[in-house]
A and B are shown apart, each in its own frame.
Chain A
């Protein structure tokens, strides 16, 4: 079946512009995560959605970052007034409910470059 998809695959923007990154999780997966992977760095947790519960935003690095998940499915990560240090690969992952919830299925990522 279809895996997690993300769009765009690459995004080049100018400093100060806003960007929106999209994630389509696997159908039926209730949990959705956003991570950031910077060059030479590990995975940095950003935000986590679980069903209809309030999202865990504890990883968002600043108030320029926000995310929403509509209808418990598609999610959009928005970065306002982008800075050069926002350049990274942004990964989305989803997990099924129940006993399979521990495993995360990752998308291919969106490579963001801020000039």
Chain B
């Protein structure tokens, strides 16, 4: 069975500090992994996907198949990054995603 684990419910950093939101997964197939973000009073939206290998709002995430991880990183956190972040794994056979429990990031001034 597939599973997505985000070990930190809450994460707090100071503005300008590096931030890493952890995500580990278990899946027998080839994973399709995503990060979604939910800012205060906004709807949940896609932040980035591993297959695109893109940087969005300064965030990057690298898929590490050996460690089965897909951690989200940003070298210099900003206050506007404060939000709830969800890691998600898409099962191409079942056609649906499994989400982690989410990490609430707070960036303090």
Identity of the chain B residue whose Cβ is nearest the Cβ of A47 in the assembled complex: B96
B86 at the interface (CB under 8 A from A): yes
Q: Are A103 and B99 in contact (CB under 8 A)?
A: no
Q: What's the minimum C-beta distance from A24 to chain B, rounded to whole angstroms? A: 14
Q: Is the CB of A42 within 8 A of B44?
A: no
Chain B neighbourhood of A91, CB < 8 A: 44
A105 to B100, CA, bound (A): 17
Docked-complex contact B34 and A42, CB < 8 angstroms: no
Residues of A within 8 Å of B56, CB to CB, are none
B95: chain A residues at CB < 8 Å are 31, 48, 50, 56, 101
Q: Please, how many angstroms separate the alpha-carbon atoms of A91 and B97 in the complex?
A: 14
Query: Whole-angstrom distance from the CB of A105 to the nearest CB of chain B?
Result: 8
The contact string, 1 if C-beta is below 8 Å from chain B, for chain A 51-76, is 00000100000000000000000000
* Shortest distance between the CB of B46 and any CB in chain A (Å): 5
Query: From DSSP, what is the main secondary structure of chain B's interface residues?
Result: strand
B99 touches A108 (CB 8 A): no
Contact of A42 among B45, B96, B100 (CB under 8 A): B100
Docked complex Cα distance between A42 and B9 (Å): 10
Complex contact B102–A103 (CB within 8 A): no
A31-B95, A33-B96 in contact; A42/B46 too (CB < 8 A)? no
Please state if B90 and A42 are interface contacts (CB–CB under 8 Å).
Answer: no
Chain A hits for B43, CB < 8 A: 3, 106-109
> Which of A's residues lie within 8 Å of B, judged by CB?
3, 31, 33, 35, 40-43, 45, 48, 50, 56, 91, 93, 101-109
Q: Which residues of B contact A (CB under 8 A)?
A: 6, 9, 32, 34, 36, 43-46, 49, 86, 90, 94-102
Q: Can you report 15 residue pairs joining A to B where beta carbons are below 8 Å apart? A: A42-B86, A42-B101, A42-B102, A43-B86, A43-B99, A45-B98, A48-B95, A48-B96, A56-B95, A56-B96, A102-B90, A104-B36, A104-B46, A104-B97, A107-B43
